[in-house]
Each structure stands twice: as C-alpha cells, then as structure tokens.
Amino acid sequence: MGYDYLALKSLTLRGSVAGFGNQIGVGKESNICTVGDEEGNPLCLKLHRLGRVCFRNVKEKRDYHGKRHKMSWLYLSRISATREYAYMKALYDRGFPVPRPVDCGTA
C-alpha cells in the first residue's frame, strides 16, 4: 500500500487525478479502480501487484530484472507499470485502438 499512496500522491500533485472511486476489477497482476481528473472526467487507474501468490513465476517469464537473483516485488511492479505505460503510449500515439494513457505514477 505504500507505493500505492506514493503513486496517488504524485498523480494528484501533477493534476492527473483529483478523486478516487471504487475498485472495479481484480486480476492476477493488478487492481483496477475508478478515478476522476480535475475536470471531473472518469478515468481508470491500474495498480500493479506482481507479488501475488498466483503470479510468483513472473521472475522467470519476464525480463524485468536482468540477471539479478534477488528483486523486490514492489520494484518489479514499478518496472511493470512503467513499461506498460510506455508501450500503451507508443501504441496510442500511432493510432492503435488502446485506452488513452494519461499518466504513470512511477515517473
């Protein structure tokens, strides 16, 4: 929850998020919540959760950690969020039908 607070704080300070709503989804990698921007527009917020029991083999399946053997699940979640935002922004900027990326709380 500490990283969630820090991400929400940075998103709020940058004006990307002004209000927090309900949790609308839970998956093996993340929680999805509704939020609102400063104009009252509804947005979705994805909170990454790579350390869940059902998703422990992420270290073998993803290249987030290079060759290191020990990695914090919080750090892996941060890398995951940053990469997903970058890929989604690149796709959106090139006209692909993906949700509009607004901000990344880890930046």
Q: What is the pLDDT of residues 59-98, one digit of tens each?
A: 555 555 566 666 677 777 788 888 999 999 999 999 999 9
Q: What architecture is domain 2-93? A: 2-Layer Sandwich (3.30)
Phi and psi at residue 71, in whole multiples of 5°? -145, 140
User: What is the pLDDT at residue 51?
Assistant: 60
Instruction: Find the helix or strand (DSSP H, E) in which 46 lies.
Output: strand 42-48
User: What is the pLDDT at residue 7?
Assistant: 84
Condensed to tens digits (0 to 9), the pLDDT of residues 22-43 reads 999 998 788 999 999 999 999 9
Residues in CB range of 8: below 8 A, 6 or more apart: 17, 20, 105
Phi and psi at residue 81, in whole multiples of 5°? -65, -45
Of residues 2 and 22, the one with the higher pLDDT is 22
Nearest to 59 by CA among 47, 71, 46: 71
Mean pLDDT score of the chain? 82
User: What is the pLDDT at residue 30?
Assistant: 86
